[in-house]
Each structure stands twice: as C-alpha cells, then as structure tokens.
Structure 1
C-alpha cells in the first residue's frame, strides 16, 4: 500500500491531499489536524484547521470515501516535558471521526521515562477509541537507534503501540539494514520513505529533514533492500519535502509525481 504524506505538500489542505493521492494512483495519505509547524507555504494554499472546521472534516471524509483513498495516519502528537497527554483526547476523537485508525507521535527531549510514560498514557486513551499509536524514530527524542526504541516499546507494553520507521531518520541516525531486519515485524506499524545522501547538506539535520529530501533512487540510502524488508501489510508512505523544486516553481503534483514514480520502481523490484 503506497501513500503520500503531508510534509512534502507544504500546507496543502487534507481534502486536496486526498484528491492528489487519488490522481496519482496512491492508496492512502498521512495528514494533520492543522498545517505542519513552520508555516512554509510556497504553493499559496489557503489557511485551514480541521479542529475548528467541521465542514472541512466532512469534506475530507467524503473525499476519502468517494475517491477510495484511506487516511492511514494523522500526525501532530508530541510528548513534551510536563505535557498532559490527556489533553489529546479531543484530537483523538477527531482522528476517529476522520475514519483513521492510527496516529504518529514523537517524544521531544532525550528523557526515556518521559517517552515511556507519555506514550503509555496516549496509547491507553487511543485504545479506548480503537486507535493505534506509532512512535516515530528520529533525532528529537530518545528513539534514534533501534536499541532505545525497543526499550521504549517494552516499557510502554501496550498491544496498540508500535513504531514509525522513517527511512531517512533510520539510516542517517546510524541504524543498519541488519537492525531493520532484526525488528519484530509486529513492531513496524508504519513506514515513511525518502532518499538522502549519506553526508549532511545543511547546517542542521532538521532543516534537511523538514525541507529537502530526495525522491527514491535519487540519493544514497539502501532503499531497495529496505523496502524488501517491510512487511507486506504495512503502509509505505512518501515523506519527501523538496523545497528546491517548490522554489523553482514546480507545483505539488509534479513534485509528488516524481517521488511516486521513484517509489514504484523500488516496489516493482520488491
């Protein structure tokens, strides 16, 4: 199942993300309840917020239903110091209203106990709504390598908790194909796919991750071997922001089309 993620669409409203996925022959999408932080909007998308706009939520649900595109994950959940995870209950209700069954959550800061406690509370609240919780491995929290990710997973210990594996984060933060192959398939809840060079290209890792990744096959990561190891029933979704193309006047459809074609070449050889 191939999807597209909101990060590469720089503020596009969810109904339009669903329509773009259908146009490109993709199966599913990853969205947020509001635009991603940062406000970068080179394509001049209108302002939107699903939390505040029931009509747009209905439009999103209708587009997904009518176009046969599943909302596979909703982002925008974070564990922060002293953050009351119970405050996300209303957002989780909206996720269920959208017909989605999975959220992506990150932990900000390196405190392992904070991550375990926060993920555990959120997983409990999500389970009451029939939702899955997948924590993203990345540079901002303690889940940068496989070993601490497994420690967090054991600490949470809930059946609706798993991991989001983002290929750029996974490899650039020092994990290997052998590490991925050794993971229990049941722990791989969702996969985000992007290519990148091995060497950093920007002053900070987060600038590169948020704004300038590469279509599959354009970088140096071992993505062909990686996708072969992804369990068949796990979504592979494209999280590929390419700011340089947006600033060159190339629109979101064409930017995304190039990424989809690169992914399909990988998947055809799976």
Structure 2
C-alpha cells in the first residue's frame, strides 16, 4: 500500500512520454508510485500490452500504479455543457463506466474525478452523482477522489469536501493539489478541519505568490518545482500530517522550462525538490 512516505510520479505533464518509458527514470529517482491518464492505458492496449500484466511490469521497477486521472464526465449537467467547453470532446469520453473498468483491469489504487467543463452542479446533483461513481468503483474495490479546480465547477476545498460529506460513501474522498489549493483561496485552516481519512491523494508543485491573469493558462504552463515558488508547502505537508492523512505525495509540474531537459532529468528534479520540501516539513526545527 502506498502511504505518506511514498512519492508518486504524476502522469499528466509527461503525457508525451510513453508510459513504459517512464518506469526506469521513475525507479532511478526513487518514486514508488505512478499516476496515469486513461490515454496512457489505452495506448498500451493498442500496442498489444495487457493491462493485467502492467502490475508485474511496474513491480519489476519497484513501482505501483497509483491513481488513474481522471473521470471527466460524471455530472448529468456536463452532458449539456456548451460545445466550446474546454476539452469537452475528450472529457465526454472519460465516463465513470469506461474509466472504472480501465482502472480495475490495470490494478490501480484509486481514481480521480474532476469537473473541467465549467459546469457548476447543484449540491444535490453533485452528491448524487459522486455517490453513484463511488458505488460503481466500490464493486471493484476502488476509491474515488474529487480534485477541485479553481476554474471548474467544483472550485475549492469547501465545495469538494461538501460533496464528499453529502455523498457519504466510505470510498469517496479528496485530492489535494497544492496549486489548486492555494490558487482557489482554500486555506490550511480549512484543510485542518477535514478528517485525514478523507484525503486519498496529494499532489505538490509551486508557483509565485501573485497569480497569473489566466488561471487555466498558469496551471498548464506556470507551475514550478516544489520549493521554487511561494506556496506554503511545508505548512501543507505539516497540516496533512497533523490530521492523519495517509495519502502518498505526488509531484505534478506543468512547465515549459522543462522542454529542454531529458525525461530522466525532469523526473530526478521532481523527486529531489519534493524530498527537500518534505524533509523540511517533517524534520526541520522551524515549525
């Protein structure tokens, strides 16, 4: 089982690198988990690689499959989202049934659910829809966690936590991504009030104190390595530890500054910067 001392290599920023080509660099950098997108897994199947064999391939490199990121169309109102909605065509294909089946066959630890089309659900719609996907995933022993996005219809920690509470499913929880956390205006005080068992996965990255004019543009191109920006990442990790979070810590950095580096260099930089922040949070006297 992956836990709070494990590092997870988050797949979305590395979508241009075939999944199997990430394994050796991840192992060298000391990651113990990988998150993937559905497209990563579908690409393997197109190449004739059985998803049932993926766990063994990962284990050969000391790795486990963490979350599949993501279910993108799970709210009834998303079906009626505007035709010009961001990533609509892609997200409409990422239904609960398709992604849960994929994650189960691949032996994933859990599944992320997001709202990226800008559709703001009513509290009842969101709770009922989230309960439904949790029930579908429970048939395969899989947890599901909401990742809130400040430019989406579930924009902050308070909104996501309310959905999880209302749905009332034991396999339903939250993703805490540091960029979404701090850019949404969510606070560590709010996080401290959430039961640690509701946090299923954590992703860290950094950014300047001043947000960009376009939050979506910034999240896709303006993230920094942990420790290179102004987010209170040590406070975040300490808060998660205090509430008893057992979630592994992923690293997810979208940045064009990485364009000239090799995959090995990128992954090693992610690991070393994350470890430095985690060590500072847990072992420094500056508390």
After superposition, the Cα gap between the structure-2 partners of 1:17 and 1:138, relative to the gap in structure 1 and judged at 3 Å, is: same
Post-superposition CA distance 1:50-86 (Å, at most 9, x none):
4545516356333212112011100131135254999
Counterpart among 135, 157, 175 of residue 186 in structure 2: 175
Distance in 2 between residues matched to 1:117 and 1:85, nearest whole Å: 20
Distance in 2 between residues matched to 1:239 and 1:56, nearest whole Å: 27
Contact 2:114 2:147 in 1 (8 A): yes
1:131: how far off? Answer: 0.5
Post-superposition CA distance 1:143-182 (Å, at most 9, x none):
3233222221122111100000100110111011211222
Structure 2, unpaired ranges of 5+ = 1-5, 80-91, 283-287
TM-score normalized by the length of structure 2: 0.81
**Residues 1:61 and 2:55 aligned together:** yes
Greater than 6 Å deviation, 4+ residue runs: none
After superposition, the Cα gap between the structure-2 partners of 1:228 and 1:54, relative to the gap in structure 1 and judged at 3 Å, is: farther
Contact 2:9 2:250 in 1 (8 A): yes
Distance in 1 between residues matched to 2:94 and 2:157, nearest whole Å: 28
After superposition, the Cα gap between the structure-2 partners of 1:104 and 1:223, relative to the gap in structure 1 and judged at 3 Å, is: same
Contact 2:202 2:249 in 1 (8 A): yes
Distance in 2 between residues matched to 1:256 and 1:72, nearest whole Å: 16
Contact 1:165 1:188 in 2 (8 A): yes
After superposition, the Cα gap between the structure-2 partners of 1:141 and 1:242, relative to the gap in structure 1 and judged at 3 Å, is: closer
Counterpart among 230, 243, 250 of residue 220 in structure 1: 230
Distance in 2 between residues matched to 1:165 and 1:26, nearest whole Å: 19
1:116: how far off? Answer: 2.2
How large is the Cα RMSD of the aligned pairs? 2.4
**Residues 1:98 and 2:106 aligned together:** yes
1:24: how far off? Answer: 0.7
1:211: how far off? Answer: 2.4
Distance in 1 between residues matched to 2:130 and 2:257, nearest whole Å: 35
Distance in 1 between residues matched to 2:197 and 2:8, nearest whole Å: 20
1:101: how far off? Answer: 2.4
Structure 1, unpaired ranges of 5+ = 36-46
After superposition, the Cα gap between the structure-2 partners of 1:243 and 1:5, relative to the gap in structure 1 and judged at 3 Å, is: same
1:260: how far off? Answer: 1.3
**Residues 1:27 and 2:32 aligned together:** yes
Post-superposition CA distance 1:193-236 (Å, at most 9, x none):
111112123x4211111223100110000001111222452110
